[in-house]
Structure 1
Amino acid sequence: MIRQEIKVEKMKSDMQLTEQRVLDALEKLKTERSEFNKDLMKKEGDIEVLKTKMDEELKGMKVKTDETMDNFSKEVQTIQELAFTPIIAFKADTVGDRSLENNKVFVYSNIILNIGDAYNKDTGVFVAHVSGLYLFTALVCLIDNSWVLVGITVFDTPISKTAFGDKNWWKCYTINAITAVEKGNEVLVKCTANCESNEKLHEDTYAINSFSGVLIHKTV
């Protein structure tokens, strides 16, 4: 009987020990699970921070890429504009009012060519629609016994001028200029000095005053 009781007591002790071990194991698992969750949350936080940082870097890269592409597109457009020179050319002749006076603009009323529509036959003025290098030429015919100074002017500044005249014969003279002209500048031919009321241009079937110009190369 006593042995039986001892055996039962031993079984109870073993069961309690086993139970305690199970409880300890469960507690350990619980602690490990808690630590794991904390570590997981930390990693998730790190991942979120990393994701945010990557998103910011990607946005920054996109902005820089867009700026680079925009600058590249502008450079390509500029190169294309420089490479392409539009056709701008005009020629007009026949001056209706051939009397001369200082600073009087020669108005060539008969348009022979006006590609680009930049020359005005009512004012005698060419207005540059495009900045660039231009060639201008004027044919000036004077009656005999006349001496005048004539010039091609850009923005009211003479860029090519010379004295014309002959005592015994009417003659035609050529004046030209190759010059840079800005968009909006006015180009014209006028008598710059020594132009008195008794002097005038000569014009007939064989001698016709004229003014012409052409864009050689466009600039930006």
Structure 2
Amino acid sequence: MIRQEMKVEKMKSDMQLTEQRVLDALEKLKTERSEFNKDLMKKEGDIEVLKAKMDEELKRMKVKTEETINNYSKEVQKIQDLTFTPIVAFKADTVTDKSLENNKVFVYSNIIINIGDAYNKDTGVFVAPVSGLYLFTAQVCINGNMKVYAGIVVNGRLISKTAIGDKSWWKCYTIDAITAVEKGNEVSVKCTNSCDVSDNLGETSFAVNSFSGILIHKTV
């Protein structure tokens, strides 16, 4: 009977020990699970931080790339503007009002060519549509026994001038100028000095007064 009781006590002790071990194992699992969840949350937080940093870096790279592309496009456009020269050319002849006067603009009313539509036949003035290097030429014909001074003028500045005159016979004289002109500058041919109102330009069916110009190279 005593032995039986001892066996029961031992079984009871073993069961309690086993139960405790199970409880300890469960508690350990609970603790490990809690630690795992904490570690997982930390990793998730780290991932979110990393994701935010990557998003910020991608945004920065996108802005930088767009800026680089924009600057590159501007450089390409600048090169295209420098290499492409539009056609600007005009020629007009026949001066309707042939009377002379100091600083009077010669108005050539008959347009032969006007690519770019920059020459005005009503004023005799060419207005540069683009900045660049231009070539201008003018033919001025006067009656005999006269002497006057004429030239090509850009925005009021005389850039090419000549003396015109002959004691006995009327003649035609050529004036030319290669010059840099800014967009919007006005170019014309004027009688600059010794232009007496009693004198007149000469013109026949064989020789006429004329004014022409052409854009050689565009500048930016």
Structure 1 equivalent of residue 97 of structure 2 = 97
Structure 2 equivalent of residue 8 of structure 1 = 8
Counterparts of 2:27 and 2:181, CA distance in 1: 92
Counterparts of 2:130 and 2:149, CA distance in 1: 29
Letter in 1 for 2:170: W
Cα offsets for 1:12-44 (capped at 9, x unmatched): 111111111111111111111111111111111
Counterparts of 1:194 and 1:10, CA distance in 2: 144
Structure 2 equivalent of residue 41 of structure 1 = 41
Report SS of the residue matched to 2:160.
Answer: strand
CA RMSD, 1 decimal: 1.0
Letter in 2 for 1:182: E
Letter in 2 for 1:89: A
Report SS of the residue matched to 2:109.
Answer: strand
Report SS of the residue matched to 2:187.
Answer: strand
Tell me how far 1:180 sits from its aligned partner.
1.1
What is the identity percentage for the equivalent residue pairs of Structure 1 and Structure 2?
Answer: 80
Cα offsets for 1:31-81 (capped at 9, x unmatched): 111111111111110110010010011011001101111111121122222
Tell me how far 1:168 sits from its aligned partner.
2.2
Structure 2 equivalent of residue 60 of structure 1 = 60
Structure 2 equivalent of residue 136 of structure 1 = 136
Structure 2 equivalent of residue 202 of structure 1 = 202
Structure 1 equivalent of residue 182 of structure 2 = 182
Structure 1 residues 80-89 or 96-105, which shifts more?
Answer: 80-89
Matched, 1:81 2:81: yes
Which sections of structure 1, spanning at least 5 residues, go unmatched? none
Counterparts of 1:111 and 1:10, CA distance in 2: 129
Letter in 1 for 2:205: T
Stretches (4+) displaced over 3 A: none
Letter in 2 for 1:71: N
Report SS of the residue matched to 1:151.
Answer: strand
Structure 2 equivalent of residue 29 of structure 1 = 29
What TM-score comes out, normalization by structure 2 length? 0.97
Counterparts of 1:68 and 1:134, CA distance in 2: 35
Structure 1 residues 75-84 or 25-34, which shifts more?
Answer: 75-84
Cα offsets for 1:105-146 (capped at 9, x unmatched): 000001111111111111101111121111000001111222
Tell me how far 1:169 sits from its aligned partner.
2.0
Counterparts of 1:45 and 1:128, CA distance in 2: 66
Report SS of the residue matched to 1:202.
Answer: coil
Figure out how many residues of one structure are paired with residues of the other and give that number. Answer: 220
Counterparts of 2:16 and 2:61, CA distance in 1: 66
What TM-score comes out, normalization by structure 1 length? 0.97
Letter in 1 for 2:39: D
